Amino acid sequence: MIPEIQEKIRHNVYEFSEHALTQSILRAITLQDLHEAIATAEIIEDYPLDKYGPSVLLLGFTRNQRPIHIHCSYPSRPLIKIITLYEPDSQRWKNNRIRRKTK
């Protein structure tokens, strides 16, 4: 699935949700950051039964080693939908990959 997502992002076959667009601006995540993070992405969570359609949470790193989480649709959609993207919070994520248990 990763190669198909990477291919679509590389060829600009994607769209941002309104939420993702707003959050990328607030969090200063550029299109370059998105492309760099997608190039190194791995799936860290899979949501095949998501109510809005199957999606995955990816972890990738920019060239400056900034970790970025990208929640996006499966590549089976004509356009990849970027649902949200953010830099993982170490209080909520262990090694950027595993959700920390909440008390």
* Domain ranges for the chain: 2-88
47: Cβ–Cβ under 8 A, 6 or more apart, which residues?
54, 55, 56, 57
Report pTM: 0.93
pLDDT of residue 103: 61
pLDDT digit string, tens, across residues 16-63: 999 999 999 999 999 999 999 999 999 999 999 998 899 999 999 999
Give the C-alpha separation, 4 to 101, whole Å. Answer: 32
Give me the torsion for CA of 5, 30, 68, 36, rounded to 10°.
50
35: Cβ–Cβ under 8 A, 6 or more apart, which residues?
9, 10
pLDDT digit string, tens, across residues 66-89: 999 999 999 999 999 999 999 999
Give the residue among 77, 79, 82 at the shortest CA–CA distance from 58.
82
Is residue 102's pLDDT more than 80? Answer: no
Reduced to 3 states (helix: H, G, I; strand: E, B; else coil), residue 95 is coil
pLDDT of residue 100: 85
